[in-house]
Amino acid sequence: MTESERPTRRRSRSRRRRRARLRRALLGALVVGSLLLATGGWIGFRGWQARAHLLNAAGLARELSAQVVGGDTDRALRTLAALQEQSGAARAATADPSWRFGRRTPIAGDDLDAVRRIAVAIDELARQAFPTLLRTDLTSLVPAGGRVNLTRLTAVSAELTQVDESVQRTRKDLAAVPADSLVSQIRQALTDLRAEIDRLASLTAAADQGARLLPPLLGANGPRRYLLVSQNLAELRATGGMFGAYAMLEAENGAVKMGKQGSSASLGRFTPALKVPGEIRAIWTDLPGIYPADVNLSPHFPSAAALYREMFRRSTGTTVDGVLAVDPVVLSYLLKATGPVLVPGGVPLASDKVVQTLLNDSYQRLNVKQQDDFFAASAASVFDAFFKKNVNPRVLLSAFDRAITERRILFWSARPEEQRTFGESRMAGTLPEQDTVPTVGVFLNDGSGAKLGYYLRPTANLTVGECRPDGRRELRLRVTIRSTAPKSGLSESVLGLGLAGDPYTARTLVSIFSPAGGAVVEARLNGVETALGSGTERRRHVATTSVDVGPGAEKVLEATVLTAKTGVGQAELWLTPTANPWTTQVHSAPSCDQ
């Protein structure tokens, strides 16, 4: 072989080796591709099966929820069996080796993993939480014959703790699923399931907490005394309404009776003012420490309750163990369980009319003394019905759940160890210093000195906006306040002091609370920049402005709000409970990481 032939032969062998490697690579690709196609087809088939089972399970879960609330245990047990069959099938459809392989692929892996975890979550609830919940004797949580059976309540507490642990564990697992990269259908399914489980978790946590706390609160370890105060939603305050009528509740060994009753006005005026927390005083001066009707100008209920308790002690010499606040809307929910109640004097209180009766009609037809007597008699009548009538416990618990969710039942214990147990739950009414999700507060205080709050129809829209270079998120808030008040014909009790000038014009002090660590940047009233009072409470910037709305008119307040540093695209609203519920909408956005 000549020197000139050697390079040619080397190039030829090199080309053959490259062609061989290429053939092997192509063959390998063909095999892998065929496997992927086959696996993908199998995963698609299994996915179709899982989807069908999950849809069936979701429908059954809704049926089960309605049957549990309605107390239809026999049907609920049958529904639970069907739910377990469907959720188990969905779990099995997402558990085979092909699905596990697909969960590791870079394109569809996140979606397949999310579907698997959704299936597991529903199956866990169907097999662990729901059966125990159906076995639990919820009648232990409601009074019978004027008494709560504390022995039975203690026994049911262990079961409720087991349910809550299961639900909270499932909630935690789903919260860890990354949602931003999922396809829209799976992301929406995950979002909906999280919302349902969040609601279930709040229910089970409240039931568990109640079962553990109620025995000592109801006097298992000695007599207790509480102040029951009614928030008058006709004259708005940040937590709901002005503290109007009060009643003493006395509890011992599970038996509860109503004692002395009166009105906040009877407690008098306190000068020098009681000590008010510094941040609240900087916004509202000493008013919360002077007038019992102003203790709740701030939305932080523990501060209001502590002030009211001290005012009651100084005025009556009686020290209570805590303060429980409710409003007439709560009574409307309870009356659905008890049925109509007849107040002495022949006035019936029915679920669909009690709010109008207490917040409007009574002011139109009664003088001040008669109003106080009527409010006291109404409270006593509903109290007697609640404790002495035989009511469906599930309907009653559903009413309590709705009222607590809407922050219409608030409780504060004067015993720090008990108060810590309530933490930052809705029932505690605590304004948290940290946010899980950026939360904007819109709180209303009457500035008219009148009872025109009954006629207000508020709406709120919150939109998550741009991601800023400084790491904060911009939120756009739009609050509309409309008045349905007539132009004439209202009594002096309704019109009150008429501090807006025209006695039929409702003046409302609107306070916007930023998310923790955030800020309210600007506000416009009907499109015109408006002046804002400014302060800080519990790490939240507070901006307040006065909004006057005449009969049949409406005003629109728009504000730009900043969060602390965050990338999340969700936000929440916290609103003053009103006689006519808010209409709300929150528009989320993709996270800043997308």
pLDDT band of 120, cuts 50, 70, 90: confident
Rounded mean pLDDT, 488-496: 95
pLDDT band of 451, cuts 50, 70, 90: very high
Could you tell me the pTM of the whole model? 0.81
Q: What is the pLDDT of residue 380?
A: 82
Q: Which residue has the higher pLDDT, 274 or 388?
A: 274
Which class for 378: exposed (0-12), middle (13-18), buried (19 or more C-beta within 10 A)?
A: buried
pLDDT for residue 45 is more than 60: no
The H-or-E segment that residue 22 falls in is helix 5-70
Closest listed residue to residue 141, CA positions, set 219, 201, 207, 73 = 207
Handedness of CA 227, 261, 393, 404 (dihedral sign): negative
Q: What is the pLDDT of residue 95?
A: 77
d(CA 405, CA 400): 8
Q: What is the pLDDT of residue 16?
A: 56
From 23-27, 118-122, 231-235, 293-297, the region with the lowest mean pLDDT = 23-27
d(CA 93, CA 87): 10
pLDDT tens digits, one per residue of 159-200: 888 888 888 888 888 787 777 666 676 677 677 777 777 777
pLDDT tens digits, one per residue of 71-99: 677 888 898 899 888 888 878 877 766 66
From 249-263, 309-323, 525-539, 547-561, the region with the lowest mean pLDDT = 249-263
The H-or-E segment that residue 341 falls in is strand 341-343
555 torsion bin: left (phi>0), alpha (psi -120 to 50), beta (else): beta
Q: Which of 113-117, 375-379, 493-497 ranks highest by mean pLDDT?
A: 493-497
d(CA 90, CA 283): 55
Q: What contacts 207, CB < 8 A, 6 or more positions away?
A: 141, 160, 163, 164, 397
Q: What is the pLDDT of residue 66?
A: 64
Q: Which residue has the higher pLDDT, 70 or 201?
A: 201
537-572 core/surface letters (b: 16 or more CB in 10 A; e: else)? bbbbbbbbbebbbebeebbebbbebbbbebebbebe
pLDDT for residue 107 is more than 60: no
Average pLDDT of the chain, as a whole number: 84
DSSP output for 144-184: BTTB--HHHHHHHHHHHHHHHHHHHHHHHHHHTS--TTS-H
Rounded mean pLDDT, 339-356: 88
Query: What topology is assigned to 224-420 in CATH?
Result: Aminopeptidase (3.40.630)
Q: Where are the beta strands (DSSP E) in 363-419?
A: 410-413
CA angle 91, 95, 99 (to 5 degrees): 125
Backbone angles phi, psi at 574, to 5 degrees: -125, 125
Q: In the structure encoding, which two tokens stand for residue 222, read together?
A: 């000695």
433-587 carries CATH number 1.20.58:
no
From 33-37, 307-311, 344-348, the region with the lowest mean pLDDT = 33-37
pLDDT band of 106, cuts 50, 70, 90: low
